């Protein structure tokens, strides 16, 4: 599988330039960072959540971080929990399992973004195939995040 077709169409529609960064196959963010020689802090990962009303939310945070659901729910006045893997696979049918692109709008999902990602000069996005990252600059990443809220809801677990 290559880059997600929905992601490619969305980036082209929004005129977002990106650079493809190929790396050895990796099933984890840590492995991707090592094989691509990129800091975990610069890789944006997507965590899929839903609330009791089945409303889905994509939380986008640095791969070095862990989501703090208590803080997120407090900020959003919600009760979001992690989605089950099989539910995630249904939403991202054009991606390899576990290779979710952090581009909520391409999948018609609500989103929230960890604000520290918007401060980086470059951000790397999972492209949907475990072998490709897409590099976007700060302004283009902010453009991708405009429909969501920018909040602080994660904490660094890997240095």
pLDDT tens readout for residues 127-145: 999 999 999 999 999 999 9
Mean pLDDT value across the chain: 95
Name the domain count of the chain. 1
Domain that holds residue 17: 5-156
Q: Which residues of 144-154 are buried (b: 16+ CB within 10 A; e: fewer)?
A: bbeebebbebb
Pairing of strands 43-50, 56-62: antiparallel
CATH of the domain at 87: 3.90.960.10
- This prediction has a pTM of 0.94
Give pLDDT tens digits for 78-127.
999 999 999 999 999 999 999 999 999 999 999 999 999 999 999 999 99
Secondary structure string (H, E, C) spanning 8-55: HHHHHHCCCCCEEEECCCCCCHHHHHHHHCCCHHHEEEEEEEECCCCC
Dig out the tokens for 15 from the structure: 């005129």
Q: Can you give the pLDDT at residue 88?
A: 95
């Amino acid at each position: 599988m290559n880059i997600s077709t929905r992601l490619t169409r969305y980036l082209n529609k929004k005129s977002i330039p990106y650079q493809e960064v190929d790396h050895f196959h990796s099933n984890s963010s840590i492995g991707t960072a090592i094989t691509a020689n990129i800091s975990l802090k610069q890789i944006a990962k997507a965590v899929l959540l839903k609330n009791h009303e089945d409303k889905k939310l994509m939380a986008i945070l640095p791969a070095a971080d862990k989501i703090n659901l208590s803080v997120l729910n407090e900020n959003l006045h919600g009760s979001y929990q992690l989605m089950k893997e099989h539910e995630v696979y249904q939403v991202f049918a054009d991606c390899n399992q576990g290779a979710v692109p952090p581009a909520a709008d391409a999948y018609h999902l609500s989103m929230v973004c960890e604000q520290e990602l918007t401060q980086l000069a470059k951000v790397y996005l999972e492209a949907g195939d475990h072998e490709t990252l897409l590099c976007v600059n700060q302004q283009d990443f902010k453009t991708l995040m405009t429909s969501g809220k920018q909040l602080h809801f994660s904490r660094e677990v890997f240095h």
